[in-house]
Structure 1
Amino acid sequence: MTRRDFLVTSAVVGLSTSIQAQGVSIESKELKAVEPIIAAVQQHMFPRESKLPSAKAMNTITFLLETITHSSYDRDIRRFVIEGAQELERRTEGKFLTMDSAEKERVLRSYEETSYGSNWLARIMTLTMEAIFSDPIYGSNIVQEGWKAVESFGGLPRPKQRYIYG
């Protein structure tokens, strides 16, 4: 390898690392900005007065954020979760968080009628249910309330640490 080839290759590798780091930083800021929207959607889907524990009581937003930001999680799905929340915020002109339950229901049903919105809501529902029914070691399903609500228990053997990979 010539000195010139080495310098060009080094510059490209260094630049790509910098671009990736910027992407992660931008994505983290975007995720932080939409966190309240996602939490409000989760709470609307799993409110206090349902048979299952509420999303808020189960700390499902923390579980969702830790899950989708984990190094093993698919980056495209993480991007989809962020962009779906941004789209919901645009559709409501930034008012989703201040809407009452009936307004949120109407907006979410309208969003659900689109293919994109339907897929996004299904993803949020899946991640929220994973939180409610996961082993409590992952920070949700507080005192096994999710399992108790459906008269079940977690699988055996139970995990001894939160994440093996990443």
Structure 2
Amino acid sequence: MNFVNQVSSALNKLMEGEVGKSLVLSLSSNTTRGVSLMKSKSNQASPEGNMVGWNPDNMNGGIDVFNNTLRDPFIGLGHELAHIQDTWDKTRDDSIWFSYINDKGRLDTVPNNEKYATYYENMIRNEHNIPLRASYGIGPNEMWDRNSMIINYITDESLFYPETNNPIINRLKINNE
């Protein structure tokens, strides 16, 4: 399948849920701004809000509540599109959320804007009955990274966007019932 068809398929999959549909439609219907989607080795969104690099073969994502890191690539695209929305809404926070030592032994940082993108990622996961992402990073023994938790692992609620402050989405519960 060529890249255009892969993008189309991923966008259609996102639009099967209310949150994904709202995200895709709000970005695609903007008459003053646009975003380009380009094939990339890694998933990324430009801080200017005009480009998403996406790897349609990348099945690696953050660690979920069952300690798995595999995710469908459309989830990664939704995560990156949330970064674009965050930029367009002028709510993007690039200040440092946490620091860590990377694989090369160097200090690296993760910005606060990942909280917003992972929140949207979890809403998309939820509406597709996919286990929620538990933390941004992967901690010791390939488990959740306690320094970058994004949900309360007991209630599955967002640690950064509680429903009292964001009535658009109620609870981030996996719909297994």
TM-score (norm. length: structure 2): 0.32
Q: Which has the higher contact order (CA 8 A, sep 6+)?
A: 1
Higher helix share: 1
Higher strand share: 2
Larger Rg: 1
